[in-house]
């Protein structure tokens, strides 16, 4: 695959254009992985004591989360990393044999992302909903696009 974004000269100015050989599945998988890395970073920050509890778990623990919830954040980070691996595998970008051997695995991130949309849409925490509902929606669209490819 070539460079996805190319600069070309036209009438004395440089214009950006998209490489026609760009694979949408790769873009969706990469977007899923990048967004998921951000969420993993957030979860790990919670686990290390960041005072962002109002933006997680329905806002039940404003400030620093208690130790049990901080351990849960580590588990969530690991699960999210696994979902990203499944999406990247389904797109053939990393460990293609993983999902290739069990194609239904490509649908696991779709289901989890759909559940995340429902949970983030229904949370009482306005801050959590404002931040994570859009992220969950994008993750759902990305994972669905990869699973359908």
Check residue 116 and give its pLDDT: 97
Q: Which residues of 19-39 are buried (b: 16+ CB within 10 A; e: fewer)?
A: eeeeeebbbbbbbbbebbeeb
Check residue 76 and give its pLDDT: 97
- Point out which residues pair with 5 in neighbouring strands: 18
Q: Find how far residue 31's CA is from the centre of its chain.
A: 7
Q: 36: Cβ–Cβ under 8 A, 6 or more apart, which residues?
A: 80, 81, 83, 84, 87, 139
Check residue 9 and give its pLDDT: 56
Check residue 11 and give its pLDDT: 63
User: Within the chain, what is the greatest distance between any pair of CA atoms?
Assistant: 62
Kind plus residue range of the DSSP H or E element containing 13 = strand 13-18
pLDDT averaged over 10-residue windows placed end to end, the chain, 149 residues: 50 58 90 98 98 93 95 97 97 89 94 97 94 98 97
Check residue 21 and give its pLDDT: 64
Phi, psi dihedral angles at 109 (to 5 degrees): -60, -30
């Amino acid at each position: 695959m070539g460079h996805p974004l190319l600069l070309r000269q036209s009438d004395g100015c440089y214009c950006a254009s998209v490489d026609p050989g760009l694979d949408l599945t790769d873009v969706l998988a990469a977007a899923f992985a990048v967004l998921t890395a951000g969420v993993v970073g957030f979860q790990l920050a919670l686990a290390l004591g960041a005072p962002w509890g109002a933006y997680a778990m329905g806002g039940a623990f404003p400030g620093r989360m208690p130790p049990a919830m901080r351990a849960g954040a580590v588990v969530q980070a690991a699960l999210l990393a696994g979902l990203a691996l499944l999406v990247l595998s389904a797109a053939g970008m990393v460990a293609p044999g993983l999902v290739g051997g069990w194609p239904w695995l490509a649908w696991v991130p779709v289901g989890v992302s759909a559940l995340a949309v429902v949970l983030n849409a229904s949370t009482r925490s306005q801050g959590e909903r404002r931040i994570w509902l859009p992220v969950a929606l994008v993750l759902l669209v990305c994972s669905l696009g990869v699973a359908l490819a």
